A and B are shown apart, each in its own frame.
Chain A
Amino acid sequence: MSSPIIARRLEQQAKVRLLYRRALKTVQSWAVHRDTFYNEAMKTRAEFEQHKNVTNLDLVDRLLDRGEARLREKAHPDPYIIPWAVGGSKYQRNPPVPTNISFSYDFGKETYT
């Protein structure tokens, strides 16, 4: 295989991984219960597995486009975000002070030399 084809293939593999990851996160936002999540995650996995042997690069592109469109369509209006991740409820709360700023914790009680 020539190098442009390999590059395209690698790019597609990365896109598929990302799509699968995002699909699982979307399912997780919709499915409140663990049992439901497992069922739906298995269905999602099966759909990906169904196309795992596709080698036609154009067909893979079309499948990816279809997957992306479906993901957009099924997007959760209020996706779950881990508290400390970007957009989470704890994100940016009392972040560490830059190291070049020093604090005097014994203000007013210093011993003068």
Chain B
Amino acid sequence: MYLLIVTLPLLGCATSALFGRFLGSRGAAIVTTSCVGTSFLFSLVAFYEVALVGSACTLQFAPWFDSEMFDASWGFLFDSLTVVMLIVVTLVSTLVHTYSISYMSEDPFLPRFMCYLSIFTFFMLMLVSADNLIQMFLGWEGVGLASYLLINFWFTRLQANKAAIKAMLVNRVGDFGLALGIMSCFLVFQSVDYHVLFAVANEWAMKESLAPESFVFCNMHVDALSAICLLLFVGAVGKSAQIGLHTWLPDAMEGPTPVSALIHAATMVTAGVFLIARCSPLFEYAPNALVVVTCMGAMTAFFAATTGILQNDLKRVIAYSTCSQLGYMVFACGISNYAVSIFHLMNHAFFKALLFLSAGSVIHAMSDEQDMRKMGGLNQVLPFTYAMMLIGSLALIGFPFLTGFYSKDVILELAYTKYTISGHFAFWLGSLSVLFTSYYSFRLLFLTFLENTNAFKQDIKNAHDAPPLMAAPLIVLAFGSLFVGYLCKDMMIGLGTDFWGQSIFVLPDNSNLSESEFSTPQIVKLIPLLLSTLGAGIAYWINNHKNSFVYDFKTSSLGRRFYTFLNKRWLFDKVLNEFLAQSVLRFGYSISFVTLDKGVIELLGPYGIATTMRTLSKRTSGLQSGLIYHYAFIMLIGLTVLITFIGLWDIVSFWVDSRLFLIFFCTFLFLPQRS
């Protein structure tokens, strides 16, 4: 059964890929959705057995790399962390498969689309269930590939091509760090198996504290565990779109909306957070790395939230929201609260998938219009979608007793009660992000649903609410967004819970869950709620059609700069493209391609040798001019060089071996006769 959870989506993918033309759109959709749905049912059983009953299991499937020095096998580890991820991935994937049947029904390439969704699900399941870093890396790269294929699903679109290539390249930067991290793990611990790594990390840290051992990285002596964790974190930064390597995520919205819901909101982008939580036994012994993780997460949460407030594309607002929430998850890991981070990951999967699928419903109804400036008044035309979007937004901003409330507020309280500089840094940036989150969520609701309509008449006339196949997944996700946080809080992050078993490790010194539970001041607990209310109020005031001040400010000189700065994402793309990407591409072209590939290899390789010999022979034949004064000149030069050479022999003899002359003389005697 455990193997079926992972392999059923692969079966669906293979069927759709190989027999899609025979099965047709409907057949391929039924096969793939059934496979993923069955995988979800098995995941529920696995959740019961592993997480609730407490019987974690490992499966050694087959050898993969088997040498004396390096062993890695096909193996699966099903512990609480894995089964939570299994539930999230398979549930959202099943719902997205179902939703896509209706959403993509008019697309002629539905079997290919379903095939890509299933292959993504397979690789994601491989990633979360691997028992070693190499197999995890396989899943990691596989989801990257699936993401590329799905962003580029409408491959005739130039923008989709660019976005897919961007996602691939930016992720490669992170993957390079992750690969180095895995290699460093092997260098230090001689293994890539989770069990071995996590078992010896403690011993290694104790040994390090007594007699520090040097680990040379980039010609510098560094702390081994910090270096490993930071390298693994670089991988997480790329995949989870943290600041610096985040630029691919908003552009990835070029893909169909169900893809955005599945990959770029609920599952793939959370792989980085999963990796950090999975490697918690390593991160716990690298306090410096944890500080970096906290600061990066907090900065991402703040940056993305501010950027989201002035985006006009419906999907881009939600994409920046995802980026911001990923920042929360990462800094929760940085303050050693991995369980809370995974809890927020799970909650976020519900309400973010709901938001994306509701956005898809709006886009579907409005004839593919995505710009919020051309919407408004849709609550009358699409009441069901409005209700879903409202539930998702309220859950996202942490409205009391909805799902987001139980994880986001806890993260902020934990950051506050960490009592470190990085903890307070994260708390304040996170709190400000709550304000912006509330603002852009309500702005989205106002502009799309509540304000006077600004849409084309034809779009409004043709608009229709979600058909049953699209509505059913929304209802399931809405229930999740309403109740999952409340139902699972005590089980997953309650004080003294043994839900996570051995899957997550926190050093006793780093644990502050009880501190936050009992000693957080009341005002600190209220800050997120107050800021959310403030954000909603500001959103109402600014986006009210009777407010002319906002237009005047926006079009003033200062306002335009401010608007451009936030709308253009703090000009990150411009800076990265012009100062980094172009330099790197220029280096790649002129050094790697022109100088090395075409230069050295062509010069010294077979082509180069043939060309050089031909050129040399042409020049040598040019010496045979038949003119007596040319020969006289060469003899004169030759005699001059010879006399000089003999005259300087005392000096030159130090470098020249005189036996060479004998060899030259002998070879001269054996020169072939010219016929």
Contact = CB atoms under 8 A, between A and B. Distances in A.
Given A91-B157, A94-B108, A95-B156, A30 B368 contact: no
A19 B347 CA distance: 50
A112 interface: no
Interface stretch (B117-125, B382-390, B516-524, B561-569): B561-569
Interface residues of A, number: 28
A29 interface: yes
Interface stretch (B38-46, B213-221, B370-378): B370-378
Contacts of A64: none
B452 A33 contact: yes
A51 to B, nearest CB: 21
Interface string A83-99: 11001011111110000
A36 B548 contact: yes
Interface string B131-166: 000000000000000000000001011110000000
A36 B156 contact: no
A60 B158 CA distance: 40
Given A30-B551, A78-B312, A83-B368, A94 B373 contact: no
B515 interface: no
B583 interface: no
A74 to B, nearest CB: 7
A108 interface: yes
Nearest to B311: A78
B545 A36 contact: yes
A31 B551 contact: yes
B71 interface: no
B371 A80 contact: yes
Given A32-B373, A33-B545, A93-B154, A77 B368 contact: no
Interface in A12-52: 28-36, 39-40
Interface in B7-27: 21-22
Contacts of B454: 32-34
Mostly helix, strand, loop or mixed at chain A's interface? loop
A92 B451 contact: no
A91 B453 CA distance: 24
B370 A89 contact: yes
Contact of B567 (A35, A36, A77): A77
B157 A40 contact: no
B555 A33 contact: no
A32 B376 CA distance: 10
Contact of A29 (B311, B373, B447, B451): B373
A30 B312 contact: no
B498 interface: no
A107 B21 CA distance: 8
Contacts of B598: none
Contacts of A31: 551
Contact of A40 (B371, B545, B551): B551
B511 interface: no
A33 B368 contact: no
A89 B158 CA distance: 11
B22 A74 contact: no
Contact of B370 (A36, A83, A84, A87): A83
A77 B559 CA distance: 12
Contacts of A29: 373
B543 A32 contact: yes
Nearest to A31: B551
Q: Choose among B311, B551, B560, B567 the residue with the greatest number of A CB atoms under 10 Å from its CB.
A: B551
A36 B547 CA distance: 9
Interface in B553-609: 554-555, 560, 563-564, 567-568
Interface in A65-113: 74, 77-78, 80-81, 83-84, 87, 89-95, 107-108
Contacts of B368: 83-84, 89-90
Contacts of A91: 157, 159
Contacts of A33: 451-452, 454, 545
Given A83-B367, A83-B369, A95-B156, A34 B555 contact: no
Contact of A108 (B22, B108, B158, B551): B22
B107 interface: yes
Nearest to A26: B555
A94 B452 contact: no
Contacts of B451: 32-33
Nearest to A39: B548
B369 A94 contact: no
Nearest to B564: A77
B156 A94 contact: yes
A90 B158 CA distance: 11
A31 B154 CA distance: 31
Interface string B291-310: 00000000000000000000
Contacts of B158: 92
Contacts of A84: 368
Interface in B399-415: none
A94 B568 contact: no
B564 to A, nearest CB: 4
Given A30-B551, A77-B568, A78-B312, A35 B367 contact: no
A26 to B, nearest CB: 9
A35 B374 contact: no
B555 A74 contact: yes
25 contacts: A28-B373, A29-B373, A30-B551, A30-B555, A32-B372, A32-B454, A33-B451, A34-B453, A35-B452, A40-B551, A77-B563, A77-B567, A78-B311, A80-B312, A80-B374, A81-B371, A83-B367, A83-B368, A83-B369, A83-B370, A87-B159, A91-B159, A94-B107, A94-B154, A108-B21
Interface of B: 21-22, 107-109, 154, 156-159, 311-313, 367-374, 447, 451-454, 543, 545-546, 548, 551, 554-555, 560, 563-564, 567-568
